[in-house]
């Protein structure tokens, strides 16, 4: 199994997920209690003696059990739930870390934002955050309704075309946290995964700084052929690599693909073998995704491309 | 007298030898002491062998870039070059290019124990 994926849903790793897990257990307990009461009443109705049936048969049962009880209990639950989750979705503050995550069929576009909302670093399918700090996510969609869900770090929230929803996530300790699109979005929806990597603050600062400094294209004799192929086979029409003339925006940004933990949006480990398999025939792995199979490429071509992409860190 | 005692002492041994002779010899061609097919299956899923190969018993992915591994236990050669034996297969799974120069299957991020586990899995695929 991939690290962190598929994610467990009752194992919160931060305050936002924690409050939602608490609410979930409270709701489950309430539901179990109500179910037990209803079953008891049903048992009395079917098998109880006449005295019991008479005592439970009046109009007052409807007023108390059918109207007053639900109104009071559901209202209390509503306010309790809202108070537990009220800070989850308020607008980002001026000094908060902001990241825009956009749902695509069937992957996630990621843009780290500056304080004015400008895109600083582009990435895909993976989010890096500092431990112990809330991160405001601006959730959008470019096509259909998706839903962003990293169960151990926060709740799930729909990504609606033409709308910007805000949700916060936070991790209390370093680690890899898996996510999953939680709203059926067609085709390979079930294979639309996501990974959040939480770093110690110092490591996180170093990572972001490295990403923001001008990329030093890691060139070696081994990558020249892959680089040529990347452009001649047309990869650059859909994929972007910072610092090169590859500037396609239809597919995931590949600037840091070599350091990513996963391929194919959170679903495959990232190594040379999976990279070759994905480029050669992504349709066999994730049927219906928008990357065509490249049957025209030879094994040597696939290897050269994989070596070139491994160098993009 | 002495001879008789010795014979009696050997009866269990003779009997077990007789019984053993009735069973087919264990197939040591694919025998891998200490390796676990179940751990091998987990390693296959962790490194993503399925990205390139269809592997019986692995539901997803079923990649078509490399050959299907279905008939592997009965195959004479690995990649048409190496004898299909446990140690060779384990080494091949871990570092194919060092055994078959020019092959496009890359070296995989596996320990030698994991490679043996994977070989064990691949040998018992047809048995499941």
A297 assigned to some structural domain: yes
The CA distance from B54 to the nearest CA of chain A, in Å, is 10
CB A129 within 8 A of CB A204: yes
Residues A77 and A103 placed together within one structural domain of the fold: no
A5 assigned to some structural domain: no
Q: What is the pLDDT of residues A79-138, one digit of tens each?
A: 999 998 888 888 888 889 999 999 999 999 999 999 888 999 999 999 999 999 999 999
Q: Nearest by CB to B106, from A268, A276, A284: name it.
A: A276
pLDDT at B68 over 60: yes
Residue with tokens 């294209």: A217
CB A126 within 8 A of CB A88: no
Six token digits for residue A107: 């992957």
Q: What percent of chain A has pLDDT over 90?
A: 79
Residues A208 and A230 placed together within one structural domain of the fold: no
Please give the CATH architecture assigned to the domain spanning B37-124: Sandwich (2.60)
Residue with tokens 């496009």: B104
Residues A30 and A128 placed together within one structural domain of the fold: no
Which residue range(s) make up the domain with A61? 15-88
Residues A76 and A150 placed together within one structural domain of the fold: no
Comparing alpha-carbon positions, the chain A residue that sits nearest to B44 is A1
Q: Is the dihedral of CA A245, A251, A255, A257 positive or negative?
A: negative
Could you state, in order of their start, the residue ranges of all structural domains in chain B? Answer: 37-124
Q: Show which of A194, A212, A230 is a domain's final residue.
A: A212
Six token digits for residue A67: 């109207």
Residue B1: pLDDT band (50, 70, 90) is very low
A7 assigned to some structural domain: no
Q: What is the pLDDT of residues A159-206, one digit of tens each?
A: 999 999 999 999 999 999 999 999 999 999 999 999 999 999 999 999
Q: Which of A2, A4, A222, A274 to mutate to probe the B interface, most B CBs <10 Å? A: A274
A97-104 β-sheet, strand order:
A119-124, A107-113, A97-104, A135-141, A165-169
CB A251 within 8 A of CB A239: yes
A173 assigned to some structural domain: yes
Q: Where are the alpha helices (DSSP H) in chain A?
A: 15-47, 50-55, 59-61, 69-84, 201-212, 221-232, 272-285, 299-310
> Rounded to whole angstroms, how far apart are CA atoms A87 and A97?
15
Q: What is the pLDDT of residues A19-58, one digit of tens each?
A: 999 999 999 999 999 999 999 989 998 998 888 888 888 8
Q: Is the dihedral of CA A228, A234, A236, A239 positive or negative?
A: negative
Q: Are A269 and B104 within 8 A, CB to CB? A: no
- Has the ipTM of the complex gone over 0.85? no
Q: Nearest by CB to B105, from A1, A273, A300: name it.
A: A273
Q: Show which of A212, A243, A267 is a domain's final residue.
A: A212
Domain count, chain A: 3
Residues A67 and A113 placed together within one structural domain of the fold: no
Question: Model-level pTM?
Answer: 0.85
> Rounded to whole angstroms, how far apart are CA atoms A297 and A301?
6
Q: Show which of A152, A180, A212 is a domain's final residue.
A: A212
pLDDT at B12 over 90: no
Stated as kind and residue range, the H or E segment containing B12 is helix B2-22
CATH code at A194?
2.60.40.420
The confidence score (pLDDT) of residue A212 equals 86
Residues A169 and A191 placed together within one structural domain of the fold: yes
The size of chain A, in residues, is 313
A2 assigned to some structural domain: no
Residues A141 and A69 placed together within one structural domain of the fold: no
Q: What is the pLDDT of residues A262-293, one digit of tens each?
A: 999 999 999 999 999 999 999 999 999 999 99
């Amino acid at each position: 199994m991939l690290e962190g994926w598929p994610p467990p849903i009752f194992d919160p790793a931060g305050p936002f997920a924690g409050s939602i897990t608490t609410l979930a257990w409270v709701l489950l307990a309430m539901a179990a209690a109500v179910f037990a009461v209803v079953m008891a009443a049903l048992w009395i109705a079917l098998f109880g003696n006449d005295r019991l049936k008479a005592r439970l048969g009046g109009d007052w049962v409807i007023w108390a059990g059918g109207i007053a009880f639900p109104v009071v209990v559901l209202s209390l639950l509503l306010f309790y739930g809202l108070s537990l989750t009220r800070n989850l979705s308020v607008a980002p503050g001026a000094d908060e870390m902001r990241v825009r995550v956009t749902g695509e069929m069937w992957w996630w576009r990621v843009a780290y934002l500056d304080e004015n909302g400008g895109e600083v670093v582009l990435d895909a399918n993976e989010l890096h955050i500092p431990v112990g700090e809330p991160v405001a996510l601006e959730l959008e969609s470019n096509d259909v309704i998706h839903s962003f869900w990293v169960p151990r770090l926060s709740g799930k929230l729909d990504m609606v075309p033409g709308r910007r929803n805000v949700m916060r996530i936070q991790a209390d300790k370093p680690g890899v946290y898996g996510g999953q699109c939680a709203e059926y979005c067609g085709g390979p929806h079930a294979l639309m995964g996501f990974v959040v990597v939480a770093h110690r603050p110092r490591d996180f600062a170093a990572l972001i700084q490295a990403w923001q400094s001008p990329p030093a294209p890691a060139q070696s004799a081994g990558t020249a052929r892959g680089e040529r192929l990347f452009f001649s086979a047309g990869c650059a029409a859909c994929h972007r690599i910072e610092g090169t003339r590859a500037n396609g925006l239809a597919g995931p940004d590949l600037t840091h693909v070599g350091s990513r933990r996963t391929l194919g949006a959170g679903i495959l480990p990232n190594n040379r073998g999976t990279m070759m398999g994905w480029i050669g025939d992504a349709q066999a792995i994730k049927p219906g995704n928008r990357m065509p199979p490249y049957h025209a490429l030879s094994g040597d071509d696939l290897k050269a491309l994989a070596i070139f992409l491994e160098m993009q860190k | 007298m002495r001879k008789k005692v010795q014979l009696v002492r050997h009866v269990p041994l003779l009997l077990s030898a007789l019984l053993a002779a009735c069973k087919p010899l264990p197939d040591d061609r694919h025998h891998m002491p200490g390796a676990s097919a179940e751990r091998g299956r987990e390693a296959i899923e962790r490194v993503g062998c399925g990205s390139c190969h269809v592997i019986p018993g692995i539901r997803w992915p079923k990649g078509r870039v490399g050959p299907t591994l279905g008939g592997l236990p009965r195959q004479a050669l690995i990649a048409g070059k190496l004898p299909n034996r446990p140690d060779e297969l384990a080494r091949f799974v871990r570092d194919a290019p060092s055994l078959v120069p020019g092959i496009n299957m890359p070296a995989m991020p596996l320990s030698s124990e994991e490679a043996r586990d994977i070989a064990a899995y691949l040998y018992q695929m047809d048995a499941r």
